[in-house]
Homo-oligomer: A and B are copies of this chain.
Amino acid sequence: MSRWEPGARERLNSAALELYATKGFEETTVAEIAQAVGLTERTFFRYFTDKREVLFAGSELLEQHFVEGAAAAPKAATPIGVVTSAVAASADYFPDERRSYSRKRAAVIEANPALMERELRKMSTLAAALAKALRDRGIPEPTATLAAQSGVTVFRVAFAEWIADGSERSMLDIEREMFAELGALTALTR
């Protein structure tokens, strides 16, 4: 029978990220991650299916924030209003305390093309989930996808600013600025 390890998931997560950042993702073994926090490989696999899942387990939670944020928008909200609500809800997932973890995670992912492809796939899934939430509110295509993709673009650009060296502003603040910037930018097409 396996004993409950308090905080094991978080400890494994931190140790894994530290090893990925210093040794490289490919070079790190599950055994090393477990040893770093005095646990066994078997315990690791109780929390994560593999090394990669340590980095991507949060993606579903992020998607949930987006979809719940879209659902929380007033019934009469415009498509971009719904998207703004969705992206704003995601800011809850990135409090300032998380910034240094997020920064390190991003560096690990950028250093590995396979992880980068997985990350892009997650962003694409996120945009698809948001587009579906918009369609479910009666917003037709291609508006739903254009709006959802724009929301994910704002999210990604804001996230890059949020984790930039020396950045101290909140994710919500940066997201708002990016929506305004996008509005000003694309308005010039008309």
Residues in A lying within 8 Å of B, measured CB to CB: 78-81, 84, 113, 116-118, 120-121, 123-124, 142-143, 145-147, 149-150, 153-154, 156-157, 160-161, 178-190
Contacts and interface: CB of A to CB of B under 8 A. Distances in A.
A186 B145 CA distance: 13
Q: How many copies, total?
A: 2
Given A84-B189, A120-B120, 12 more contacts: A81-B188, A113-B121, A116-B121, A117-B120, A120-B123, A142-B161, A143-B185, A145-B160, A146-B153, A150-B186, A182-B186, A184-B190
13 contacts: A79-B185, A80-B186, A113-B121, A116-B121, A143-B185, A146-B153, A146-B182, A149-B153, A149-B156, A150-B153, A179-B189, A182-B189, A186-B187
Contacts of A189: 80, 84, 179-180, 182-183
**Interface-central residue, A123, A124, A156, A187, by most chain B CB under 10 Å:** A187
A53 to B, nearest CB: 16
A32 to B, nearest CB: 27
Nearest to A154: B146
B183 A187 contact: yes
